[in-house]
Amino acid sequence: MKTTINELDAVALTCDLPEHGLVSGDVGTVVLVHGEGAAFEVEFVGYDGHTVALLTLDRAQVRPLYSQDIPHARELAHT
């Protein structure tokens, strides 16, 4: 099972971030790795291409995607 996270990897949230309209399991893309993987800049994008959030997240807030994961779609709540 992959544990290293690199730039351009897809990652899943491990916690809810209601202030950004995100929930655990939402998938984002790492755009920058901080301090050998201590934190990451992660972009969350809607299927129409708009950026939902660009956040700095700690390692504990994201995880790599696994081969047993399944894609899931949900409607983003309007805030």
pLDDT in tens, 5-45: 999 999 999 999 999 999 999 999 999 999 999 999 999 99
Taking the domains of the chain in order of start, what are their residue ranges? 10-64
User: Exposure pattern of 37-54 as b/e (b: 16+ CB <10 Å)?
Assistant: eebbbbebeeeeeeeebe
Does residue 1 have a pLDDT over 90? no
Does residue 70 have a pLDDT over 80? yes
pLDDT value at residue 2: 73
pLDDT value at residue 79: 53
Write down the pTM of the prediction: 0.92
Residues ≥6 apart with Cβ < 8 Å to 71 = 27
